Amino acid sequence: MEPGSLWSEVIGSIHVNQRKVESIPFKKSMVGVWKNIGDIAKEFMKNGININTSFRSKVGLGDRTLFWVDIWLGNATLKEQFPCLYQLSTKKKAKVQEVYKVVNGGILWDWAWSRVPCSDAEKQEMVSLIHRLQQINIVNKGDVWVWKYNEDEEFCVKSVRHTLERNLDINALPNSFYWNSWVTKKSSMFVWRAIEEKIPSAAALRNRGMDLQDVTCKICGEDEGSAVHILLKCNFAKRVWNEVAKWTKTPMVNMEGNLTEVLQAFLDSQRSRNIKKILHAIAIQSMWILWLNRNDKIFSGRNRTVQMVIEEIKESSLQGVSQRSKHRSISKQ
Instruction: State how far Cα 39 lies from the chain centre.
Output: 7
CA distances from 68 to 27, 65, 73, 111 (A): 15, 9, 10, 11
pTM for the whole structure: 0.50
How many other CB atoms are there within 10 angstroms of residue 252's CB atom?
A: 12
Rounded distance, CA 177 to CA 198, Å?
15
Rounded distance, CA 127 to CA 123, Å?
6
Q: Residue 13: what pLDDT?
A: 38
Report CA Rg, the chain: 28
Rounded distance, CA 3 to CA 191, Å?
13
Angle ∠(207,208,211) on CA atoms, nearest 5: 80
Strand segments, DSSP code E, in 59-158 are 100-103, 106-109, 144-147
Rounded distance, CA 248 to CA 228, Å?
22
Burial 213-237 (b: 16+ CB within 10 A, else e): eebebbbbeeebbbbbbbbbbbebb
Beta-carbon contacts of residue 117 (< 8 Å; ≥ 6 apart):
84, 85, 88, 123, 125, 126
Q: Which pLDDT tens digits describe the chain residue by residue (333 residues)?
A: 443 333 343 334 333 333 333 334 444 454 444 455 555 555 555 555 666 666 778 888 999 899 999 888 888 899 999 999 999 999 999 999 999 998 888 888 988 999 999 999 999 999 999 998 988 888 888 888 776 655 555 444 555 555 455 555 544 444 568 899 999 889 999 999 999 899 999 998 988 888 888 999 999 998 999 999 999 999 999 999 999 999 998 888 887 889 999 999 888 888 898 999 999 999 999 999 999 999 999 999 999 999 999 999 999 988 888 888 876 555 555
Rounded distance, CA 180 to CA 317, Å?
12
Residue in 155, 176, 165, 206 with CA at minimum distance from that of residue 34: 155
CA distances from 46 to 76, 147, 167 (A): 20, 19, 10
Note whether 78 and 67 are within 8 A (CB). yes
Note whether 134 and 105 are within 8 A (CB). no
Angle ∠(298,231,322) on CA atoms, nearest 5: 105
Q: Residue 96: what pLDDT?
A: 94
Q: Residue 161: what pLDDT?
A: 53
Q: Residue 10: what pLDDT?
A: 38
CA distances from 258 to 29, 30, 196, 232 (A): 38, 38, 11, 8
Note whether 230 and 204 are within 8 A (CB). no
